[in-house]
Amino acid sequence: MSMDKSRTPNEEALDFVSMFNEIYFQTFTHNLSSFVTDGFLKDLFEKNPSVPKDKAQILIERFGETANPANFTTQAQATNIQPTTLSLIFSIALYAASRSWDNFSTQFYGKFGDTGDDDDDEDRNLRILMIT
């Protein structure tokens, strides 16, 4: 993959980002596979559990309140997919992507530190004030 680096002062950082894609997807795959290896999906979809399980509660315990299937009612009606299934798909994808991004950003900042200007914090604070 050829990339124009003429406008970027930190060529080493760009090379790092370009090369990290394989590690990112390995991490993403690992995070996705963890739902199988730790038994989460088996517990969620067990056909005849010895003790009845509340699937909504299982999702909330694993991913937090945002995974509550009640939050997916409108989308479920529009797509004809059960709210629990939509919640599961959304939550797993978001979890795997965010964990993979966290791994990348930790590695990047560990190697390069904060590459932004000192006034970035001022700009961010100004944007926050404008939003609120």
Quick check: is 6 in a domain? no
Q: What is the mean pLDDT of each run of 10 residues along the chain (132 residues)?
A: 56 82 88 89 86 91 92 90 92 91 88 66 60 55
pLDDT of residue 125: 61
Dihedral-angle region of residue 110 (phi above 0 means left; psi in -120 to 50 means alpha; beta otherwise):
alpha
Question: What's the structural domain count of the chain?
Answer: 1
pLDDT of residue 12: 82
Quick check: is 26 in a domain? yes
What does the alpha-carbon distance between residue 38 and residue 130 come to, in Å, rounded to a whole number? 44
pLDDT of residue 129: 60
pLDDT of residue 85: 92
With contact defined as beta carbons under 8 Å apart, do 69 and 54 qualify?
Answer: no
The residue segments making up the domain with residue 111 are: 11-131
Quick check: is 4 in a domain? no
Quick check: is 2 in a domain? no
pLDDT of residue 58: 92
Quick check: is 1 in a domain? no
DSSP of 59-100, one letter per residue? HHHHH-GGG-GGGGHHHHHHHT--HHHHHHHHHHHHHHHHHH
